[in-house]
Chain A
Amino acid sequence: MSVSRRGFLGGAGAVAGVVAGSATARAGGGAERFVGYPDAMGLLHDTTLCVGCRTCELACAKVNGKPKPAGPLHDVSIFNKLRRVTDKLYTVVNRYVKARGKKPPVYRKHQCMHCQEPCCASVCFVKAFTKTPEGPVLYDPSVCVGCRYCVNVCPYYALGYEYDNAINPTVQRCTMCYSRIKKGEQPGCAEACPMGAIVFGKRKDLIKLARQRIAKFPDRYVDEIFGEHEYGGTSWLTLAGVSFDKLGLPVNASHKPLPELTAGFLSVVPLVITIYPGLLLGFYAWTRRKERLTEEARVAAVAQARAADGEVAATKAAEQKKLAESRQKRAVDLAVKKALADAEKAAAAKEDTP
């Protein structure tokens, strides 16, 4: 099969046209920062105001149709063990620091952080997660294959999976009450919190509010808003009076969104696809060339050997001929000599007899 020049160029031109037509005006290049949706909502959790009443857990379960959280809410023995979010418990309040002397215990409510650049969205190979303009990261159970890559990579251990559902297991997590937000309501936990430890509002406004609180009460707060920048930032922002690693949150986390780490490598994949064919065909051609040259050299050597044999044979034949000729000559000479001698003898014998 051979491809004509025209055919090849025509095909290439068609592809270029399609690509140019679908490119948008925005070009990345890597030096640009994405700032997210400007009017996205968020929540500010001020752990210095949290008393561990777990009313938010109850409200969340009610809003989402989940079973009531364990134990009577006033039973503080539940805080003796660190609880995790599960497929049935979208949010948990844990006691991270026990009361010491006059200092009260420190609680923190944990749930999906609705990251600005979510790992779950990045790793999902069916694009089941979407960061909405309103702020929440949404999950679409209708396309989920159940690979649980998202559950495996979440830096906040915020996803649960329905392992006991044999027919249609899905990922379960806090949704930031997306349907309520769309109706103009607050998320269930924010509305229910009696201490005002959860504030719902625009993310950029909440950051300003948090900064104001830190400025006003510098001895009360650690001078940092967790979630402002970590791993690209989250929609849930946290203020605390103790360092965040005591609250189960990663301290000194990179500001770089984690999905960038995957993207960096995946950009090499098209290089493999485009470089390997030519490179490997080159190796193959080089191998074939070596084989061809070896074969040619072998054939030439055989021919040369044969020719050399031929020369040797010819020389030998010539020598043999010479030898035969000289032998023959000597034989002839001998015979002539003998004949002459015989003739002399005969002549001499004739002279002797009268």
Chain B
Amino acid sequence: MSESIAVVKRPLITPFNVIAGLILLAGAGAGLYRFAVGLAPSTNLDHLNPWGLWIGFDVMTGVALAAGGFTISSAVYLFGLKEYQPLVRPALLTGFLGYFLVVVGLLVDLGQPWRLPYPFVVQSGPTSALFEIALCVALYLTVLFVEFTPAAFEWLGWKRWRRLVHRLTIALTIFGLILSTMHQSTLGAMYLITPSRLHPLWYSSHIPVHFFVSAVIAGLSMVIFESALSHRVFADQVEVTHEKLDEMTIGLAKAACVALGIYLAIKVVSISLDNEWALLLTPYGHWYLFEIGGFVVLPMIGYAIGFRERRTTIIRVSAVIAVVGIVLNRLNVSIFAYNWQLPAHERYWPHPFEIIVTVALVTFGVVMFKWIAGRMPILHEHPEYRGEH
């Protein structure tokens, strides 16, 4: 270890590392088991419910929660909101790790994951929403990776490479926003063909718009939550003051509040267009009202109060609630409100191994974030590149 780099030597055996390590080991074991014996013994998937937790959470929710990358980078670089600059790199890193884990989760779920490149190199099905998603996610993962490299180049001292990539910032941000708009909405569009299987309250011909707006909500809320967490965990290296973080948090709360308001409006419009008011009185209707009331209206009010009173605690709590709400919505669309007409014994519930793999993937993302942010200029500026963003 070079002594010229002033790195605080952290002990390897910490409670966090031990627990994370055990989870990762269990996840690796479950994953190996899945590939050794197939999907039947390792999951509860069947012919009526071919998509379970790995698609519903790892893929569909994961993509929404990684949306902070395009929202913050667009805000700073395209719309000139330079005061949020310190949040760009952590958001992009979260985005990159998030999408990477989405792909890993997908590879575990696919029947023949080694054939994933087939739509691009063997035979294409361009009528499929999934084709567009595959294309966009592959390209966007590349964009996110390239957007992450300046931090790595600064850390490595590769000045020319860093300069080269930095010049691509605007183009990458625009391309990233195009790709994100497409695949976030198309994830919802996958369900347009399923009006006979998805419950009418969650089904709408506008479901792609619902998914995109809720992705923006998820992205902003995740940034609020993560920046607060990173500020505490990495207190020794963050350069942003408490006051500055609070200022940014309050500003983001305003945006998230507006986004939630828009989301509420378009959800109500969908119910009105399909004349589904009476369905709100059914058991599924109550569940729908619970999702909207507790996880859309409530955080919207929380953000509003937090913004007006300038109280960051309320804002951060609202952020957590909003994120849980997006998770709930994605799980409702893919699992709980899907196949809603089937009798109870034909419905799906995740197998323990599915849960282990999912938890392990999330843990892996957290571990990677911690490792990278603890070494590379993500939460602080590299002294040689101060101000050059």
Instruction: Assess A/B contact in the complex (Cβ within 8 A).
Output: yes
Chain B min CB distance to A139 (Å): 13
Instruction: Check: B104 CB closer than 8 A to any chain A CB.
Output: no
Which residues of chain A (264-307) have a CB below 8 Å from chain B? 264-266, 268-269, 272-273, 276-277, 280-281, 283-284, 287-288, 290-291
Chain B neighbourhood of A166, CB < 8 A: 35-38
Chain B neighbourhood of A122, CB < 8 A: 127-128, 193
The residue from B116, B193, B194 contacting A145, defined by CB atoms under 8 A apart: B116
Instruction: Check: A188 CB closer than 8 A to any chain B CB.
Output: no
Q: A86-B47, A127-B123, A148-B111 are in contact. Are A287 and B79 (CB under 8 A)?
A: yes
Which residues of chain B (73-108) have a CB below 8 Å from chain A? 74, 77-80
The residue from B38, B116, B193 contacting A262, defined by CB atoms under 8 A apart: B193
Interface size class of A (residues with CB under 8 A): 35 or more
Chain A min CB distance to B122 (Å): 6
Instruction: Check: B157 CB closer than 8 A to any chain A CB.
Output: no
Chain A neighbourhood of B43, CB < 8 A: 163
Chain B min CB distance to A272 (Å): 6
Chain A min CB distance to B298 (Å): 30
Chain B min CB distance to A155 (Å): 4
B128 touches A163 (CB 8 A): no
Q: Interface size on B (CB < 8 Å)?
A: 57
- CA A147 to CA B107, docked complex, whole Å: 10
A163 touches B186 (CB 8 A): no
Instruction: Check: B129 CB closer than 8 A to any chain A CB.
Output: yes
Instruction: Check: A63 CB closer than 8 A to any chain B CB.
Output: no
0/1 per residue, A145-156, Cβ < 8 Å to B? 111110111010
Chain B neighbourhood of A37, CB < 8 A: none
The residue from B78, B131, B190 contacting A283, defined by CB atoms under 8 A apart: B78
Instruction: Check: A25 CB closer than 8 A to any chain B CB.
Output: no
Instruction: Check: A159 CB closer than 8 A to any chain B CB.
Output: yes
A146 touches B110 (CB 8 A): yes
- CA A143 to CA B190, docked complex, whole Å: 21
Instruction: Check: B238 CB closer than 8 A to any chain A CB.
Output: no
- CA A126 to CA B118, docked complex, whole Å: 7
Chain B neighbourhood of A126, CB < 8 A: 118-119, 122-125
Q: Considering the complex, give the chain B residue whose CB is closest to the CB of A275.
A: B178
A159 touches B47 (CB 8 A): yes
B122 touches A143 (CB 8 A): yes
- CA A25 to CA B104, docked complex, whole Å: 44
Instruction: Check: B344 CB closer than 8 A to any chain A CB.
Output: no
Q: A277-B174, A281-B174 are in contact. Are A146 and B47 (CB under 8 A)?
A: no
Which of A27-35, A54-62, A253-261, A310-318 binds B?
A253-261
- CA A205 to CA B130, docked complex, whole Å: 37
Instruction: Check: A213 CB closer than 8 A to any chain B CB.
Output: no
Which residues of chain B (187-216) have a CB below 8 Å from chain A? 189-190, 192-197, 205, 208
Between B128, B182, B189, the greatest number of chain A beta carbons within 10 A of the residue's beta carbon is seen for: B128
Chain A min CB distance to B330 (Å): 15
Chain A neighbourhood of B205, CB < 8 A: 261, 264
Chain A min CB distance to B177 (Å): 6
B77 touches A153 (CB 8 A): no
Instruction: Check: B7 CB closer than 8 A to any chain A CB.
Output: no
Chain A min CB distance to B273 (Å): 15
Instruction: Check: B382 CB closer than 8 A to any chain A CB.
Output: no
B111 touches A147 (CB 8 A): yes
Chain B neighbourhood of A87, CB < 8 A: 47
Q: A125-B119, A145-B110, A287-B78 are in contact. Are A266 and B189 (CB under 8 A)?
A: yes
Chain A neighbourhood of B112, CB < 8 A: 144-146, 168-169
- CA A86 to CA B46, docked complex, whole Å: 9
Chain A neighbourhood of B281, CB < 8 A: none
Instruction: Check: B71 CB closer than 8 A to any chain A CB.
Output: no
Q: A146-B112, A262-B192 are in contact. Are A272 and B123 (CB under 8 A)?
A: no
Which residues of chain B (115-151) have a CB below 8 Å from chain A? 115-116, 118-119, 122-125, 127-132, 134
A123 touches B38 (CB 8 A): no
0/1 per residue, A183-205, Cβ < 8 Å to B? 00000000000000000000000
Instruction: Check: A3 CB closer than 8 A to any chain B CB.
Output: no
A146 touches B115 (CB 8 A): yes
Instruction: Check: B283 CB closer than 8 A to any chain A CB.
Output: no
- CA A147 to CA B38, docked complex, whole Å: 14
Chain B neighbourhood of A124, CB < 8 A: 125, 128
Q: A143-B118, A157-B47 are in contact. Are A284 and B77 (CB under 8 A)?
A: yes
- CA A107 to CA B204, docked complex, whole Å: 34
Q: Considering the complex, give the chain B residue whose CB is closest to the CB of A142.
A: B122
B119 touches A151 (CB 8 A): no
Chain A neighbourhood of B36, CB < 8 A: 166
Chain A min CB distance to B204 (Å): 11
Chain B neighbourhood of A272, CB < 8 A: 178, 181-182
B130 touches A123 (CB 8 A): yes
Q: Considering the complex, give the chain B residue whose CB is closest to the CB of A282.
A: B78
25 A-B interface contacts by CB (under 8 A)? A87-B47, A122-B127, A122-B193, A123-B190, A123-B193, A126-B124, A128-B123, A148-B45, A148-B51, A149-B128, A149-B190, A151-B47, A152-B50, A152-B51, A160-B47, A161-B47, A161-B111, A258-B193, A261-B205, A262-B192, A265-B185, A272-B181, A273-B182, A277-B178, A280-B174
Q: 16 other contacts beyond A147-B111, A280-B78, with CB at 8 A cut-off?
A: A84-B47, A122-B193, A123-B128, A128-B123, A144-B115, A145-B111, A146-B113, A148-B111, A261-B192, A272-B181, A276-B177, A276-B178, A281-B174, A284-B174, A287-B78, A290-B80
